Amino acid sequence: MKEIKINLKNPYSVIVTSTNSHLNFWFEQKKVGQLFIITDQNVDSIYADYFRSFEQKIIGKYIIKPGEDSKRIEIILDIYRALLKNNVDRRCTLIAFGGGVVGDIAGFVASTYKRGTNLVYIPTTIISQTDSSVGGKNGFNLDGIKNIIGTFYQPNLVYIDVNLIKTLDYRNFKNGMAEVIKYGLSLDENLFRFIEENKRAIKEREIDKLKYIVSECVKLKAGIVERDELDLGERHILNFGHTIGHSVETMFDFNILHGEAVAIGMVYESYIALKRKLISEDIFDRLIKILEYFELPTNINIDNYKRFKDIICKDKKNVDNNIKIVLPQGIGRAIITTDVKADTIVQNIQEYNRRLL
């Protein structure tokens, strides 16, 4: 078991382990009373027994449909009503048991129901274990705009059981690996090398390797979140691959997984970096190779570049109409810049796609 402290105003721990047995211990230690579980149908069908050893604490469970479409105000209102019906008070602990969608919904509910209840995240996907469960962001979609409403709300505990990854289907597994590769390329050369050297064991989901990469990602994220909790500056570095990636998600109406879009985004953003001589051809090739090893997409066919440019220009992260983009600078380092114009982004994507023909 590893314990990583997140030193914010109300400090909390991220526990990385491969069993559910420390959870009960933590509940006892913190004198946690009633629990209310928010999960999704997939997770519930596999892990209905996960909480058996403290079943008597559970006063209710809300099961959402899996997928981004659940991140709607109607679902959130329905959860509020379920909590009221179960007489959930502020001292009750909500458990977010699932991937990013469950975490986003449960986090928002916990931060707003009776002005804030206790919250424990138990992320079940590699993407939520390494990324969304740490940092306190939550949210829901409105009129098709992703995460446009939400808060920053830190949980009392993030409990990462890497064993849960074992049952992930392969597409969702590699989806998470895209974010892990992102951490390596943009923030930590050692992590990138570790992935390259242990790719086969990681693909086979060896527990020790999973524990290592997950805890390294959490440590990297923790440091950044501690320095920029409210996403006003440095935290933006985590968006490597995301400026183009988010636009790809929107362009394809979310018929692509987040990690897949980020993989594509990383390639194009690295290509921009390559053209600016921020990275070498060799580094660019290593990125392509590791993405291909995990069978992640490394390009996408865009049929309407004008529309794509419009989407990029409307990104939530833009300030004063300047596009924010993160470019790698070698391996393990990246810069945040606003001096890449939308036209340049589109031209580079076109150029790279032509190169592949």
Q: How far apart are CA 343 and CA 88, in angstroms?
A: 52
**Is 344 strand, coil or helix?**
helix
Phi-psi region of 167 (alpha: psi -120 to 50; beta: other; left: phi over 0): alpha
Structure token digits, residue 1:
């078991």
Q: Specify the residue, 17 or 138, whose C-beta has the smaller distance to a second copy.
A: 138
Segment interacting with a second copy, rule: CB under 8 A, options 57-65, 163-171, 277-285, 315-323? 315-323
Q: Does 139 participate in binding a second copy (rule CB under 8 A)?
A: yes
Binding-site residues for NAD(+): 100-104, 124-125, 137, 146
Structure token digits, residue 355:
């190169």
Q: Specify the residue, 109 or 331, whose C-beta has the smaller distance to a second copy.
A: 109
Q: Specify the residue, 115 or 277, whose C-beta has the smaller distance to a second copy.
A: 115
Q: How far apart are CA 152 and CA 225, in angstroms?
A: 11
- Supply the minimum distance, in Å, between the C-beta of residue 148 and a second copy: 6
How many CB atoms within 10 Å of residue 156?
Answer: 18
Among 20, 93, 111, 132, binds a second copy (CB under 8 A): 111
Find the distance separating the first CA and the last CA of the chain, reported in whole Å: 48
Which residues inside 226-245 make contact with a second copy, applying CB under 8 A? 230-231
Q: Does 356 participate in binding a second copy (rule CB under 8 A)?
A: no
Q: How far apart are CA 338 and CA 236, in angstroms?
A: 12
Q: Does 60 participate in binding a second copy (rule CB under 8 A)?
A: no
- Supply the minimum distance, in Å, between the C-beta of residue 316 and a second copy: 7
Q: Specify the residue, 104 or 188, whose C-beta has the smaller distance to a second copy.
A: 104
Binding-site residues: 100-104, 124-125, 137, 146, 179, 242, 258
- Supply the minimum distance, in Å, between the C-beta of residue 262 and a second copy: 20
Q: How far apart are CA 277 and CA 264, in angstroms?
A: 20
Segment interacting with a second copy, rule: CB under 8 A, options 135-143, 162-170, 258-266, 322-330? 135-143
How many CB atoms within 10 Å of residue 57?
Answer: 17
Among 1, 46, 48, 77, binds a second copy (CB under 8 A): 77
Among 38, 126, 137, 175, binds a second copy (CB under 8 A): 137
Q: Does 9 participate in binding a second copy (rule CB under 8 A)?
A: yes
Q: How far apart are CA 265 and CA 251, in angstroms?
A: 13
What single string gives the DSSP state of each residue in 168-220?
A: S-HHHHHHHHHHHHHHHHHH-HHHHHHHHHTHHHHHTT-HHHHHHHHHHHHHH
How many CB atoms within 10 Å of residue 197?
Answer: 10
Q: Does 145 participate in binding a second copy (rule CB under 8 A)?
A: yes
The pair phi, psi for residue 122, each rounded to 5°, is -125, 85
Site map for a second copy, 163-192, x if CB under 8 A?
------------------------------
Among 301, 319, 356, 357, binds a second copy (CB under 8 A): 319
Binding-site residues for Zn(2+): 179, 242, 258
Among 49, 55, 143, 303, binds a second copy (CB under 8 A): 143
> If DSSP states are collapsed to H, E and C, what string results for 43-69?
HHHHHCCCCHHHHHHEEEEEEECCCHH
Q: Which residue has the tokens 């500056």?
A: 233
How many CB atoms within 10 Å of residue 121?
Answer: 29
Binding residues with a second copy: total (CB under 8 A): 30
Among 3, 28, 69, 89, binds a second copy (CB under 8 A): 89
Structure token digits, residue 97:
């048991």
Contact predicate 35/54, CB 8 Å: yes
Q: Specify the residue, 52 or 85, whose C-beta has the smaller distance to a second copy.
A: 85
Segment interacting with a second copy, rule: CB under 8 A, options 15-23, 73-81, 121-129, 348-356? 73-81
Structure token digits, residue 228:
């920029």
Contacting positions for a second copy (CB under 8 A)? 9, 73, 77, 80-81, 84, 89, 91, 111-116, 137, 139, 142-143, 145, 147-152, 230-231, 316, 318-319
